[in-house]
Amino acid sequence: MIDSKLKIYLDKKVKLYNNIQFIENDPIVIPHQFSKKQDIEIAGLFAAVFAWGQRVTIINKSNELLQRMDGKPYDFILNHSENDLKQLIGFKHRTFNDTDLLYFIHFLHSWYKSNNSLESAFLNGIKKNDQTTENGLTFFRNHFFSSELAPARTKKHIPSPLQHSACKRLNMYLRWMVRKDKQGVDFGIWTGIKPHQLICPLDVHVQKIALQLGLLSREKADWQAASELTNNLRKLDPADPVKYDFALFGTGINESF
């Protein structure tokens, strides 16, 4: 396909899949349970971090965690007692266990004691002229693990471009928080980071369709591939390239291609 035909095709798919009716079976349904900004941020972070494997399992485990936090993640993060933390013991999703969870709670508690939003944990690392969130992702990981209490095992759950990771789950989280349109799927509650700076989440479905459409040539799913894909998507929409995540993922998971 030439670019004009490709854009027409993908724009139609964005219109189809950037639709509130599809969120029921997607991890983004987890933060959609909330209206308070900090609840959305926290529930969204955990749902994104858990987002590998079957979507139904991701949603179920995210809901289990929220239940253990009494359905009020921000209040739990800020005001939990040592005794409250016992409710988290035994939680596990794939390789993420209660050791990892307790450190996440520790970091978030420390952060929200002096910050109103998690956005600045990324934004503080983004330089004025940065065209992408790359430096923000690196800053977030470095700050997240700056405590001497950080378990070595937990570091695999928060990657950064420095590890050559595609950072699929964090890029998905940033899409949720930053993008805003009339469709109501993404939240758009963060305004310091701009949609044009986002990097497309590169999961197996997106990668498959992107390769087939000629939007991606690199077969290794790493940061270089995620950047290549996003650069090509910018040719279709410089202001909002990551909207095409809806098209690529939706096609990959719902259609025979």
Kindly give the residue spans of alpha helices, DSSP state H, lying in 168-213.
168-178, 204-213
What pLDDT sits at residue 225? 98
| Closest C-alpha to 230, from 168, 176, 184, 158 | 168
CA distance 223 to 13: 25
What's the distance, Cα to Cα, between the start and end of the chain in Å?
14
Q: pLDDT of 216-255, one tens digit each?
A: 999 999 999 999 999 999 999 999 999 999 999 999 988 8
What pLDDT sits at residue 230? 98
What pLDDT sits at residue 257? 57
What pLDDT sits at residue 227? 98
Q: pLDDT of 142-196, one tens digit each?
A: 999 999 999 999 999 999 999 999 999 999 999 999 999 999 999 999 999 999 9
What pLDDT sits at residue 255? 84
Q: Which residues of 219-255 are buried (b: 16+ CB within 10 A; e: fewer)?
A: eebbbebbbbbbebbbebbeebbbbbbbbbbbbbbee
CA distance 237 to 153: 39
Bridge partners (DSSP) of residue 96 are 93
Q: pLDDT of 21-62, one tens digit each?
A: 999 999 999 999 999 999 999 999 999 999 998 999 999 999
Higher pLDDT pick, 114 / 257: 114
Q: Which amino acid is at 75?
A: D
| Closest C-alpha to 17, from 131, 193, 183 | 183
Give how far the C-alpha of residue 15 lies from the chain's centroid of Cα atoms, to the nearest Å: 21
What pLDDT sits at residue 202? 98
* DSSP per-residue letters across 2-46: -HHHHHHHHHHHHHHHSSGGGGGGSGGGTGGG--SHHHHHHHHHH
Handedness of CA 25, 221, 232, 124 (dihedral sign): positive
Strand (E) or helix (H) holding 65: helix 55-68
- Whether pTM > 0.85 for this model: the answer is yes
Mean pLDDT on 130-145? 98
What pLDDT sits at residue 89? 98
What pLDDT sits at residue 167? 98
Residue 185: how many CB atoms within 10 A of its CB? 21
> Does the pLDDT of residue 1 top 90, yes or no?
no
Q: pLDDT of 71-127, one tens digit each?
A: 999 999 999 999 999 999 999 999 999 999 999 999 999 999 999 999 999 999 999
> Does the pLDDT of residue 3 top 90, yes or no?
no
Quick one: angle between helices 37-49 and 55-68, nearest 10? 130
